[in-house]
């Protein structure tokens, strides 16, 4: 982070960011410059302003070390999150000796509700229950579901397949303890964003032959192919928050052994059979290095006969689901994902 970001309290920076978004459109355009067009898409004005403000304040996502990455992502998330939804009850859940989770229940939600097992993003190295608390609250309230947000082990202290094993354990725990969690065991979904989307897809594949398969799979700009090259990874390699050097850095910490990169637990897109996966909603960002693999995964699901909805959000970048407190684009995209989750789980009951 720059000296400015280090000197100024997060609350002050957040207030300044919100003030920038409240400026009239012509004034915001003076800050950002002319519209940027890449790959036939115009960068959304919200996104262009956010990237410019991060550049000016030095609050981008630093990856100089695992500790710096974690602190940087926590601060970045705090800057763009929305007002806290307080009509949600939370409690800690202990899954096993090393794995815990946070359980969200919207006030007034009856027992026997659907449950979403959610895996946060952060490149398998960073991210935690706090960086994604705002998103989990919106998912719970908007979709009318309980959420079990998993605090899985991070790399490099715990390398692949530790996080994937934790995702599997969390899903199995949710099924075995559905009653205690207030959930309907037949309506348990898996979901996640970015690296968490990778873990959700991996856990869904692992549960494909289980007695209780997931009812739904919610993937927000997921990482699905550790072997991928070219395409969107080249088009948006720099300048759009998630960069290719950052992606290489994360993978080098989580799965440095190249021989593991074809393992479906790390690269679900390479799994030989996807036909047993549940109905799935895949959201990609148009200006995201991970865009192509998310869309390829959706195409493979469709070819395998799995009901799937793919939604590309043109003009948006990786991480939009965390930007619920600035502009409107992130909230609108998350609202669409919430609607898909609610509908998919309602159809399961029917």
5-22 pLDDT, tens per residue?
667 888 898 999 999 999
Q: Is pLDDT above 80 for 177?
A: yes
Q: Which residues are registered as beta bridge partners of 308? A: 280
What per-residue confidence (pLDDT) applies to 59? Answer: 83
Residue with tokens 């790959």: 39
Mean pLDDT of the 41-48 span: 96
User: Helices 25-32 & 45-57, crossing angle to 10 degrees?
Assistant: 50
pTM: 0.96
What percent of the chain is helix, strand and coil (3-state, nearest 5)? 45, 15, 40
Dig out the tokens for 29 from the structure: 């355009």
Average pLDDT, the chain: 95
Q: What is the DSSP string of 39-74?
A: TTEEPPHHHHHHHHHHHHHT-S---SSHHHHHHHHH
Structure confidence at residue 146 as a pLDDT band (50, 70, 90): very high
Mean pLDDT of the 13-37 span: 92
Structure confidence at residue 212 as a pLDDT band (50, 70, 90): confident
Residues designated as active site: 194, 288, 318
User: Helices 66-80 & 10-21, crossing angle to 10 degrees?
Assistant: 50
Interstrand relation of 113-119 and 146-151 (parallel, antiparallel or unpaired): parallel
């Amino acid at each position: 982070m720059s000296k400015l970001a280090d000197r100024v309290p997060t609350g002050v920076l957040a207030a300044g960011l919100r003030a920038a978004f409240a400026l009239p459109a012509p004034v915001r355009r003076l800050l950002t410059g002319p519209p940027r067009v890449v790959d036939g898409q115009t960068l959304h004005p919200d996104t262009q302003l956010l990237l410019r403000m991060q550049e000016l304040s030095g609050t981008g996502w630093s990856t100089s070390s695992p500790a710096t990455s974690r602190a940087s992502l926590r601060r970045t998330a705090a800057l763009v999150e929305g007002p806290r939804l307080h009509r949600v009850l939370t409690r800690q859940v202990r899954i096993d000796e090393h794995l815990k989770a946070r359980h969200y229940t919207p006030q007034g939600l009856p027992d026997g509700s659907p449950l979403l097992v959610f895996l946060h993003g952060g490149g398998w190295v960073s991210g935690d229950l706090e960086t994604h608390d705002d998103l989990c609250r919106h998912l719970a309230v908007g979709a009318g579901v309980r959420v079990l947000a998993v605090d899985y082990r991070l790399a490099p202290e715990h390398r692949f397949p530790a996080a994937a094993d934790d995702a599997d354990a969390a899903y199995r725990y949710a099924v075995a303890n559905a009653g205690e969690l207030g959930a309907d065991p037949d309506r348990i979904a898996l979901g996640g964003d970015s690296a968490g989307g990778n873990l959700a897809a991996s856990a869904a594949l692992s549960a494909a032959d289980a007695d209780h398969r997931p009812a739904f799979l919610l993937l927000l700009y997921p990482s699905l192919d550790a072997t991928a090259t070219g395409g969107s990874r080249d088009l948006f390699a720099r300048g759009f928050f998630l960069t290719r050097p950052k992606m290489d850095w994360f993978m080098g910490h989580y799965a440095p052994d190249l021989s593991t990169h074809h393992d479906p637990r790390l690269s679900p897109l390479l799994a030989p059979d996807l036909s047993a996966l549940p109905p799935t909603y895949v959201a990609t960002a148009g200006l995201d290095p991970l865009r192509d693999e998310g869309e390829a995964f959706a195409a493979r699901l469709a070819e395998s006969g799995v009901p799937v909805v793919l939604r590309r959000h043109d003009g948006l970048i990786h991480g939009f689901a965390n930007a619920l407190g600035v502009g409107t684009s992130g909230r609108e995209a998350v609202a669409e994902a919430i609607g898909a989750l609610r509908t998919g789980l309602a159809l399961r009951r029917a």
